[in-house]
Amino acid sequence: MVLCRRILLRRNLVSVLFGLALAAGLRASAPDAGAQQTWRVQVGAESHAQARRVGAFLPNEIWIYAGDSIKFTFSLKGEAHTVTLLQDGQERPLFSGPMANAAAHIVKLPTPGNYKLVCPAHADMYGVVHVMQHTDSTAAFYAASLPYDQFDYDHQAAEEMNDLFAGRDEPSEEVRDFPPSENVVLLTGEIVVDAEGGQYLAIVHLLPGTIRIHAGEKVEWINTDPMEPHTVTFGPQQVNPQTAVTATLGPDGALQATINSPMDSVSSGFLAADQARAFLPQSAPGGARLRIKFTKPGTYHYVCAPTDGMVGTVI
């Protein structure tokens, strides 16, 4: 999957689609009054094997002066993010999908105010940009001289990323959360929330990656990730997984399907937990589960369509 990105500029809405490039840890002094500076913010992170991915703005809170710019950088290989800065009263937009490639993008913020920094594709990935007006040295410290410089932000970003990567959940612990189900494959992650930001860790491998069953049995996929939407796709992948959903809703709201041959195609669309946040599209209850019955012996391969490298096998 090729990571695509788009840039959309509007009067009060700035959307930038991108991943992550590690910011250099060079110290940058806070600017003098009247000077303009370009600040660095990382978006997302991933482990060396790309099996663990952090959905976060690093750092997730930053103070700058009006007229300063923020350079968003990225290098994620298998997942797209967007960045949207919202003023007070604006609704979070829908994720419209990636379009144009971009290695980095610089956004200039000329107007003082507090801007919510969000990723429309991931509800719990957010932060805050405080744009301060230049003033004299008698004003409060956070207006007269910014509380942090780039060196501080680089350090904060590294600490936040380490905290997210250091999650202690183990696959065996996650599986024990669902003892009534015999043949369960989990998709999971974690979320960290503080006073002004939200960050999450997506574990982009299936637990377990290979599952063995008897013909006639069912496998249940459960997305317990609080943030990341996943698909279970047997057969050809679609550009937009939501346009090719072949599973049907069962009586408890879980998706269900039957596969009779390794050549059959089944697509779940996005499996995601209920969305109950204000001003966001609401998802139907039960949309985080898929159950498939396998009627014949064989080896069945499937993928998570939007997450490159996330593959599984049912034997």
**Average pLDDT for residues 277-304, to the nearest whole number?**
78
Instruction: Examine the pLDDT at 105 and tell me if it is beyond 50.
Output: yes
Q: How confident is the model at residue 280 (pLDDT cuts 50, 70, 90)?
A: low
Mean pLDDT of the region 218-236:
86
User: Is pLDDT at 185 greater than 70 in this prediction?
Assistant: yes
DSSP assigned state of 78: S
Tell me which residue has tokens 């014949």: 296
Q: How far apart are CA 180 and CA 275, in angstroms?
A: 25
d(CA 69, CA 108): 4
What span, in angstroms and rounded, lies between the C-alpha atoms of 217 and 220?
10
- Helix ranges (H only) for 45-185 are 141-144, 150-165, 171-176
Instruction: Tell me, rounded to whole angstroms, the distance of Cα 175 from its chain centroid.
Output: 23
Q: pTM of this prediction?
A: 0.57
94 pLDDT above the threshold of 50? yes
